[in-house]
Amino acid sequence: MHDDFLILNIREYLRQGQSGEDLLQQVFSTFSCDKNLDVERFLLEQSINFTKKNQSVTYVVLTPEEGQIIGYFTITIKPITVNGDSFSNTVKKKIARVSEQDEESGNYSLSAYLIAQLGKNYKDGANEKISGDQLLGLAIEKIKELQYMAGGMVVFLEAENEEKLIHFYENKNGFKRFDTKEVKAGTEDAHTLIQLLKVM
């Protein structure tokens, strides 16, 4: 529980069996994100399965009074490879603590917390009840809880290559780009994601 928001791990619903899953689907049915259909599609079609299979865990953010869904985020742990050249010596030293370095390339290989999804609900003005900074802050807080229990110190995410979005992560929230990732290469939907990380 947060002062202004209720953050629920969807496992809380899923452990109640079918009735919990039905309730969760009801909550999801009031979520809409036409700004990013992938964010909407993941919540409605994949988040439950991914959580059941331990591939990731989704957290819904609700208003404490009405229980209205205003956003969600999904966290998992993934391996990444980072080229140290784009980071300061201080950051490199921190990354080196939790990684293995390839002597030839100088790249660091490590497991990091991935904020796999981050989205606000644009249905009926619900998006106005939480800012992007607050939603990202809640995801980081949750990762800090995991860090307290299990260690690790790097969090990363993958963002569409849009100036406003990259500015939001880099300039406002202290992430630093470290690589790009090609998605759906060779198809009409092919595009590049910018990978950004932050050392906690």
30-82 pLDDT, tens digit each: 999 998 899 999 999 999 999 999 999 999 999 998 889 999 999 999 999 99
Q: CA distances (Å), 9 to each of 3, 62, 195, 198, in order?
A: 17, 11, 25, 23
Residue 107: per-residue pLDDT: 92
Q: How many domains does the chain contain in total?
A: 1
- What is the pLDDT at residue 78? 96
d(CA 198, CA 22): 36
Q: Does a structural domain hold residue 1?
A: no
Q: Is residue 124 part of a domain?
A: yes
Residue-level pLDDT at 1: 47
Residue 130 lies inside a defined structural domain of this protein = yes
Tokens of 197: 């990380």
pLDDT of residue 125: 92
Q: What is the domain range of residue 85? A: 6-199
- Check which CATH number belongs to the domain holding 134 and give it: 3.40.630.30
Asked if residue 172 is part of any domain, the answer here is: yes
- 91 DSSP assignment: H
Rounded-to-integer distance, Cα 1 and Cα 3, Å: 7
Average pLDDT, the chain: 93
Of all residues in the chain, the percent with pLDDT exceeding 90 is 79
Q: State the pLDDT confidence band at 2, using cuts at 50, 70 and 90.
A: low
Specify if 129 maps to a domain. Answer: yes
Structure letter (DSSP) for residue 66? T
